[in-house]
Amino acid sequence: MIMCDFCALGPAQRNVLLSKFKSILKPEGSILMDVYSLNSFEEKIEDAAYEKNQLFGFWSPNDYYAFVNTFKYENEKVVLDKYTIFEANKGDRIVYNWLQHFSVDALQAEFEIHGLDIKMRLGNVAGDEFCSCKDEFAVIAGHSTNNRPK
């Protein structure tokens, strides 16, 4: 599970996913995922921006204007990017992109509830060395055996 997709899920959705992982994972099986780090959260700033055809036309093949508001929720370690897209003759639409940020300990706590443990922490899914100073990190997890991350 890569591209920090786990971070876009709410707590209830993450619980369902981890429960499913637990039920389908073979005894010696592993899960590989990456998440946004607390370092990334600290670097985010609340901001407002305006741009024509923002993200190189990601939101529409037609011309549009996008307002992006970024909000930080300190206690939850969540960042919200609110995209308000205005397109001629189509009106406006709003897209909310919520992203949870994790420490290794916070991620482990969510895993433990479902009988899973982080077996190894990595700098990324390519296997680079872990560093809490990076914006993302990856973990390999599996069924609990009381082994802690290396």
Quick: pLDDT tens for 89-148: 898 999 999 999 999 999 999 999 999 999 999 999 999 999 999 999 999 999 998 655
How does pLDDT run across 72-82, given as a tens digit for each residue? 999 999 999 99
- Evaluate whether residue 126 is within a structural domain: yes
Note whether 139 and 118 are within 8 A (CB).
Answer: yes
Do 38 and 110 reside in the same domain of the chain? Answer: yes
User: What's the number of domains the chain is made of?
Assistant: 2
Same domain, 55 and 82: yes
Same domain, 58 and 32: no
Whichever domain contains 125, its CATH number is: 3.40.50.150
Are the beta carbons of 83 and 66 closer than 8 angstroms? yes
Is 149 part of a structural domain of the chain? no
23 — phi, psi (to 5°)? -75, -30
**Partner residues linked to 92 by β-bridges:** 86
- For residue 150, being part of any structural domain is answered with no
What's the one-letter identity of residue 125?
V
Domain that holds residue 65: 44-99
Contact 140, 31 (CB under 8 A): yes
The span from the CA of 149 to the CA of 63, in Å, is 48
For residues 50 and 60, state if they share a domain: yes
- Tell whether 88 and 15 lie within a shared domain: no
Residue with tokens 């591209």: 3
Phi, psi of 30, rounded to the nearest 5 degrees = -135, 155
What's the average model confidence in pLDDT over 61-72?
Answer: 97
Q: Is position 91 within any domain? A: yes
Task: Kindly report whether the global pTM for this prediction surpasses the value 0.75.
Answer: yes
What was the pLDDT predicted at 145? 83
Give pLDDT, residue 137: 98
Q: Are residues 80 and 121 in the same domain?
A: no
In a domain, 137, yes or no: yes
